[in-house]
Amino acid sequence: MKIINSEYKQRNMKIWNEIAPRYHKRWASVNKGPFQSTKKLIELVKINKNDVVLDVACGTGVVTKQIQKKVGNAGHAIGVDTSTTAIKIAKKWNEKNKNLDFVNIDAENFSFSKKFDIITCQYALFFFPNAQKALKNMKNSLKKSGKIGISVHGSKDNVPFFNSILDSAIKYIPDYVPAGTPNLDRFGTQSALKAEVRKAGFSNIVVKEFIFNYSPGKFEDYWKNYIKYIAKPLKEKLNELEYSKRKEFKESVKEKTKQYTKKNGEILFPWQVLILTAKIN
């Protein structure tokens, strides 16, 4: 399993280096759909002026940017991520500031000499093959009074933006999700998320559920943009599919989106998000 984990991590890092600019443009920098969670997460963790806050798997720094605004000049915000491209983007669109840093660090392998008031982690816990290790690192890096705030996508049926395509993709391209890839909705229920965080030694665990709406446009826009924004290895697999199979695949996705399609042809997907807060005592 260890070898698979390290292979997966290498692959995932490569993917994030490739897609970070597109991810930033389409998702993180636009507070639409699931990214309405950034504001909610910041509210729920209750950041005070002067706090020292760590944002784990910060990506292009969307949450870190908001944290920095809250902590003020006497506080400190640090964003960490394994993707060098994401960190570069984060540095570029965040103003140069003495109390803001972005560093390339693996969530499963870090320790800081200082302790944090708050640690956040948005849309990444499910990517860590050893989520326990990441959560324990977070716990060890918190002050006694510290807390964490974690956002994850809900279970697959409650996130049809992904599931409408993934469900069919797996049928037409059996290796679409390579072996060793963690299940991305593995913390998508209150009980699974709470259990994982409790196991790492946290208490006072509270999970709030949100349903955001996201419109990817009409079906053709949804399909075209999905293909445009996915990582290269997936695009290649799609392109290798023979014409008739690709057509069938597309039709089966269209069928799944029908229940979310309005009279004017626009799709409106609900998008479930869970946001957890917890303390260490």
- Which is nearest to 149 in space by CA: 12, 21, 15, 273? 273
One symbol per residue from 5 to 34: x for binding ligand SAM (CB under 6 A), - otherwise; what is it? -------x---x-----------x------
Task: Note whether 158 and 187 are within 8 A (CB).
Answer: no
68 lies in the site for ligand SAM, by CB under 6 A: no
> For residue 86, what are the CA distances in angstroms to 109, 212, 281?
18, 25, 33
Q: Which of 122, 189, 257, 277 binds ligand SAM (CB under 6 A)?
A: 122
Of 16 and 176, nearer to ligand SAM (C-beta) is 16
Task: Note whether 33 and 212 are within 8 A (CB).
Answer: yes
Q: Which of 47, 71, 124, 142 binds ligand SAM (CB under 6 A)?
A: 124
d(Cα 170, Cα 249) in Å, to the nearest integer? 10
d(Cα 250, Cα 239) in Å, to the nearest integer? 13
271 lies in the site for ligand SAM, by CB under 6 A: no
Max CA separation in the chain (angstroms): 61
Of 128 and 202, nearer to ligand SAM (C-beta) is 128
One symbol per residue from 127 to 166: x for binding ligand SAM (CB under 6 A), - otherwise; what is it? xx--------------------------------------
185 lies in the site for ligand SAM, by CB under 6 A: no
The amino acid that residue 113 corresponds to is S
Q: How far is the CB of 263 from ligand SAM (least distance, A)?
A: 33
Of 105-113, 225-233, 239-247, 255-263, the window that binds ligand SAM (rule: CB under 6 A) is 105-113
What are the DSSP E strand ranges found in 136-249? 142-153, 203-218
101 lies in the site for ligand SAM, by CB under 6 A: no
The amino acid that residue 78 corresponds to is I
d(Cα 168, Cα 45) in Å, to the nearest integer? 37
Under the rule (CB under 6 A), what is the footprint of ligand SAM? 12, 16, 28, 57-59, 62-63, 81-83, 86, 106-108, 122-124, 127-128
